[in-house]
Amino acid sequence: MVEVEWVVAWLGAFVVVIVGLGLLAKAITIVKEWERVPVLRLGKFRAMRGPGLVVINPVLDKIPMRIDTRVKTVDVPAQMSLTRDNVPITIDAVIYYRVVDPAKSVLNVADYNDATSSLAQTVMRDTFGNKEFDEILGGVVHLGKEVEARLNPLTADYGVDVIHVVLKQIKIPAHLEDAIARQAAAERERRSRVILAEAETQSADLMLQAAEKYRGNPTAMELRWMNILFEVSKENATVIMVPANIPTAAMTPSDAAGILGGADAALRKSRVVKARREEAESAA
């Protein structure tokens, strides 16, 4: 009989220890630095706790979830929308957000992640529907900031701060893509023609200035002409056609006559020197 009582006492003590350890384990919670936990007492919100060691009443209190306060991302499903000028587009975006008020994220909304995504879809459709197609193509970054500014007041009610809204892709019909590509090609062609015309204008102006300088200095014109012949001869040309009037083309008639006369005199002089040399050689 004594032995039975002893066994029952030991079993009772063992049960008490097990229950005590279970309650102690339930009463102590370790909360990480980036986490917060809501404490409910008999179903009523009591406080947000954390980070670190959190001790609660294991019988009356309960921790239903953990709130992560780090930055999170949510992919917004692709949204179909019509622009103000009736162009159909599809927008694909990513939202970066973080929980700044854990109490609101627990008490005011069932799932703040889904709520943020749903609000973002509505705001994006409304924002892009009020813009023209050219505005959307030319201001993707600005539109992301506009969606962020409109979304933040809505998500503040459940403790969420939207940090960035990044538009990953804007899809348009294939025929519009071809039209945009042709427009871009035409614009590049227009710019190249304008640049070429400006270069031709500047080149013509410089040529006129050079012609005026050569007109006042025939010797410089002759030297330039000799340089041109030298440059042409380096191109491995077997035949070089040299118009006779090119060196004097930019000169007045009197200057040209003087230059040609000087050339004839030099030619006659060279012929006389050559004839005298031949006579001296024959006499010897």
Torsion over CA: 157, 158, 164, 169 (sign): negative
pLDDT at 155: 92
78 and 55 housed in the same domain: no
81 and 24 housed in the same domain: no
90 and 156 housed in the same domain: yes
52 and 94 housed in the same domain: no
Question: Would residue 166 count as lying in a domain?
Answer: yes
How many residues belong to the chain?
A: 284
Question: Would residue 8 count as lying in a domain?
Answer: no
Q: For the purposes of burial, counting CB atoms within 10 Å of the CB of 261, is it exposed (0-12), middle (13-18) or buried (19 or more)?
A: exposed
Q: Which of 74-83, 178-187, 240-249 has the highest mean pLDDT?
A: 74-83
Ranking 2-16, 218-232, 238-252 by mean pLDDT, the lowest is 238-252
106 and 158 housed in the same domain: yes
The 10s digit of each residue's pLDDT in 120-140 is 988 988 888 888 887 887 777
Q: How far apart are CA 29 and CA 23, in angstroms?
A: 12
The 10s digit of each residue's pLDDT in 32-74 is 999 999 999 988 999 999 888 888 888 889 999 999 999 999 8
106 and 168 housed in the same domain: yes
247 and 270 housed in the same domain: yes
Average pLDDT over residues 244-249: 52
* Number of other CB atoms surrounding residue 280 within 10 Å: 9
84 and 62 housed in the same domain: no
77 and 155 housed in the same domain: yes
**For the chain, what is the mean pLDDT?**
79
Please check the confidence at residue 257 and state whether its pLDDT lies above 60.
Answer: no
Confidence label for 163 from pLDDT (cuts 50, 70 and 90): very high
Contact 71, 163 (CB under 8 A): yes
Domain that holds residue 76: 72-172
49 and 95 housed in the same domain: no
Average pLDDT over residues 263-267: 51
pLDDT at 2: 58
pTM flag (> 0.75): no
225 and 252 housed in the same domain: yes
Overall domain count for the chain: 3
Average pLDDT over residues 245-268: 51
Please check the confidence at residue 207 and state whether its pLDDT lies above 60.
Answer: yes
Question: Would residue 209 count as lying in a domain?
Answer: no
Q: For the purposes of burial, counting CB atoms within 10 Å of the CB of 76, is it exposed (0-12), middle (13-18) or buried (19 or more)?
A: buried
Question: Would residue 118 count as lying in a domain?
Answer: yes
